[in-house]
Each structure stands twice: as C-alpha cells, then as structure tokens.
C-alpha cells in the first residue's frame, strides 16, 4: 500500500548571484514565488505534510510558506543540505511515511516526475534520487550505479576521478526515502569535507553501507533547471511559458503568435478562444469559451465571459467582469466593474467601480469619476442606456435603464430611466469674432 507522503522544501539560501534584497526563492516565475511552486508540486504529488526550510535572513520565505499552509523550520546557521533537511525533523516528529526533499529554486519539476520517485520506494528502494542526463554534464555531481543498475553513491564533480566524470547521469538534488530512515541516516552524516558542511548526498553511501537499496530515477534536464541568477530566472520563465502555451493550444485555444503571449500560473483559457499577438495575462485571469483577446492588451484579476471581445490596447484590472458578448475596445481601462451581456465600451474610456447593464453603450471619452480623494464611489448604468461621448459620470450616480446622456455632459445627479441628461454650459456663438481676432493678432505681430 502507498505510504503517507511528506515533503521538505529547502529554501534557506539568499542567492547572492541574484543581486537582490529579495531572497532567491521569493522571486517569481509566472507570477508565483518559486518556493510556492515547490509547495504546489509537493501537494500535487500527494504530500500531506510539508515543511518549508528558511534561513535567519529570509523571513519572507517563512511568510510565503505559512501563507499557503505549510509548516516552517529555521536553518541557522546554514551548514549544508543535510543540515537543512535535519532542521525539518522536529516539524515532522511522529510522521510515519515517505518524505521527499525538494528545492525552492527549481520551479519546473512536474508532479508526474515526483510520483515516479515515490514509486521507486514502493518498488523496494530505501532511497530514491532524481537524476538527469544533460547535454553538458559540466560540474554536476555524478550518480554512480553498479552493474545491477542500483545507485551506489553520489560523487561531487570536484571529488570525482576521470572515470566517474565520464558518467552522464547527474544529481538533481531531489531525494526521497522513508522519513524515519532518512533522519537516522542524516544523523550519521559528518562534515568531514573541505566546506565543513553536512551533505544530503552522503545519505546514499550510508544506506548502501547498511545493505539497503538505492536507485536513480531518470528525469528531464529541462525540469530540474535550478535558478541561481537573473539569467536563470529568465530561462525558467521562458521554459514555463512555452509549456503553458502548448497546453493552452492543445486544450483548444488559438494563439496567433504564441511566443508573444505571456500567461500567469493560474491563467485559465477556454475553448475556441482567440488570442492575438502581444497579450499579457497577470495573475487571476479567466477567459471563457469563444472570447477574443485582441493584441497589446493587459489583463489581471479579471474574467472575460463567453463570446466577449477585448482590445486591442485594453487594460483590465482586478475585479473587472466582462459579460457575455460584451465589447471593450481600444484604449479602454476597466477596474472593479461589471459589464452586462452585450454592453459596449468601444474606445477611449475609463470604467471604475461601476455596474454597466446589458446592452448599454459607453461613448468614447467617457470616464466614471469614482474617487473623491478619500474613497471610491459607485456608478450604476442601467440596461440599454446610452452614454454620450466625452461624458463624465461623477459617482455616486445612477443612470437609469434606457436613459441618454448628452455628449460632453458632467453628470452629478441620478438620471431617471428613459430620460435625457444634458449637463454642459450653454453654447454662445459670436458672429465675426474669429475674423476680427485674426486681423488684430496679425497687425500686432507685424508691429512687433
């Protein structure tokens, strides 16, 4: 029977090569901090208990772990990977099952790969290590197997001889085993090495010394990319985006220029959606079936419902809800507002803290004046209302169903249903003024 599963997320490093005041594992890929990618991976892989290991100088990591419901453990001072795992021992006291060690700077590993590592334990191994065969093995630690295909030891590159360096199977750092056994073996690890650190890799040799079976599970090099610099972060982002674009198209959406579309970790795209070039999806976006997102649009924290059209050059901010078959056209910004079915804001408008009824039309240049310097106020536009171009709707205000506002109006009072609101200065025409003005100015210019 499968054993209960736990995970230890190692995220105590500051990442000095990132050149950042933010701890390395707090940097984001696809809008989610990398440490939370590891936590999500652990959950999707069946881990019921998760411990996030952080350092004294990285309280943000502890906060990110706690924010998504993990236990946390402090590694202080940092004395190597084995020491980091041992820091989680107290948090897992009494746990009887298998534990896997994951890393907060490795955001691309899939649950399927982690499941294969756990499966190796179910197949009789006491310790399982995730390995990979890169194009360039470089300075990775090597996984040395015996003739029977079992893992004998892990050798760091600097300690490897020529024969060992010729081995292509490299260590990803991910390791799993029975929790009780893992902590027993870790208690035997010494720091008798040049760096005076306690290495997790020594667990394999100690297990073999007890006559226990260790195995290497093959993984994909692209999954085990570790982020140590800004360049690595960009590479991880690019790899994740490529994976997400392929998934979205496989699920039935069209991306005209896939490489120009950027998704977030929680973007949901329905079937028969059309996404034009140069579109950015921030966190919290859902696009339902049959919608069209035109080019150069920026969406965040919003929902675009079935058959709606958005863009080009649209910004949808958090809590924007664009109803079925509604249209938000070029250079329109929508924030914390609902547009009903078939409503239109075709161009050059700001709609904030508003409720727009079905089939209402928002003319060009319209703004909802929602902020009075102290608080946000609501604008309600009824079904079928027609808002004339260049109208300013000073909230709180309600425009009744079927009502009109004259172009250029500044509306400060409620408008009844089916009424016409005119709120602008009376026009006065002064005959001949323009010709007299031009003559006077031409004479003045000549005299000057």
What pLDDT digit, counting tens, does each position of 218-228 carry? Answer: 999 999 999 99
358-369 pLDDT tens trace: 999 999 999 999
Average pLDDT for 75-104:
96
What is the overall mean pLDDT for the chain? Answer: 96
Residue 212 has pLDDT above 90, yes or no: yes
Helix/strand/coil (H/E/C) assignment for every residue in the chain: CCCCEEEEEECCCCCHHHCCCCCHHHCEECCEEHHHHHHHHHHHCCEEEEEEEEECCCHHHHHHHHHCCCEEEEECCCCCHHHHHHCCCCCCCCCCCEEEEEECCCCCCCHHHHHHHHHHHHCCCCEEEEEECCCCCCCCCEEEECCCCCEEEEECHHHCCHHHHCCCCEEEEEEEEEHHHHHHHHHHCCCCCCCCCCCCCHHHHHHHHCCCCEEEEEECCCCCCCCCCHHHHHHHHHHHHHHHHHHHHHCCCEECCHHHEECCCCCEECCCCEECCCEEECCCCEECCCCEECCCCEECCCEECCCCEECCCCEECCCCEECCCCEEEEEEEEECCEECCCCEEEEEEEEECEEECCCCEECCCCEEECECCCCECCEEECCCCEECCCCEEECCEEECCCCEECCCCEECCCECCCCEECCCCCCCCCCCHHHHHHHHHHHHHHHC
At 193, the pLDDT band (50, 70, 90 cuts) reads confident
pLDDT at residue 430, as a whole number: 96
Cite the active site residues.
347
Classify the C-alpha dihedral 166-168-171-177 as positive or negative.
negative
Give the pair of three-digit tokens for residue 403: 């009502």
Residue 447 has pLDDT above 90, yes or no: no
Q: Is the pTM of this model over 0.95?
A: no
Residue 1 has pLDDT above 90, yes or no: no
Residue 71 has pLDDT above 80, yes or no: yes
Average pLDDT for 298-319:
98
330-357 pLDDT tens trace: 999 999 999 999 999 999 999 999 999 9
CB 135 within 8 A of CB 221: yes
28-52 pLDDT tens trace: 999 999 999 999 999 999 999 999 9
């Amino acid at each position: 029977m499968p054993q209960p599963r736990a995970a230890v997320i190692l995220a105590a490093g500051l990442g000095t090569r990132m050149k950042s005041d933010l701890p390395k594992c707090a940097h984001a890929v696809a809008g989610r901090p990398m440490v939370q990618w590891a936590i999500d991976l652990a959950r999707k892989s069946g881990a019921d208990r998760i411990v996030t290991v952080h350092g004294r100088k990285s309280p943000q990591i502890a906060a990110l772990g706690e924010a998504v419901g993990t236990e946390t453990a402090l590694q202080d001072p940092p004395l190597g990977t084995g020491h980091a795992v041992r820091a989680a021992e107290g948090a897992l006291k009494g746990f009887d099952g298998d534990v896997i060690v994951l890393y907060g700077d490795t955001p691309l590993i899939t649950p399927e790969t982690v499941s294969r590592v756990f499966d190796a334990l179910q197949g009789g191994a006491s310790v399982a290590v995730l390995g990979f065969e890169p194009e360039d093995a470089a300075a990775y630690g090597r996984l040395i197997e015996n003739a029977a295909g079992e893992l004998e030891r892990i050798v760091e590159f600097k300690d490897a001889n020529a024969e060992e360096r010729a081995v292509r199977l490299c260590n990803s750092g991910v390791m799993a085993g029975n929790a009780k056994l893992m902590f027993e073996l870790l208690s035997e690890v010494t720091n008798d090495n040049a760096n005076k650190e306690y290495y997790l890799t020594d667990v394999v040799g100690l297990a073999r010394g007890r006559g226990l079976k260790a195995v290497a599970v093959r993984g994909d090099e692209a999954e085990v990319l570790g982020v140590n610099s800004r360049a690595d972060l960009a590479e991880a982002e690019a790899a994740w985006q490529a994976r997400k674009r392929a998934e979205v198209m496989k699920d039935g959406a069209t991306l005209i220029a896939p490489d120009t579309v950027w998704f977030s970790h929680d973007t949901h795209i329905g079937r028969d959606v059309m996404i034009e070039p140069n579109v950015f999806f921030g966190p919290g976006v859902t696009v339902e079936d049959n919608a069209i997102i035109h080019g150069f649009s920026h969406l965040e924290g919003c929902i675009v419902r079935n058959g709606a059209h958005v863009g080009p050059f649209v910004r949808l901010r958090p809590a924007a809800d664009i109803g079925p078959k509604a249209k938000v056209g070029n250079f329109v910004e929508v924030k914390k507002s609902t547009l009903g079915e078939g409503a239109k804001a075709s161009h050059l408008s700001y709609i904030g803290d508003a409720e727009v009824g079905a089939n209402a039309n928002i003319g060009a240049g319209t703004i909802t004046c929602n902020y009075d310097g102290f608080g946000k106020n609501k604008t309600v536009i009824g079904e079928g209302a027609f808002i004339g171009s260049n109208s300013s709707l000073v909230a709180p205000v309600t425009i009744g169903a079927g009502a009109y506002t004259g172009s250029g109006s500044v509306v400060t009072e409620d408008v009844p249903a089916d009424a016409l609101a005119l709120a602008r200065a009376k026009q006065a025409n002064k005959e001949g003024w323009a010709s007299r003005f031009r003559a006077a100015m031409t004479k003045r210019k000549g005299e000057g």
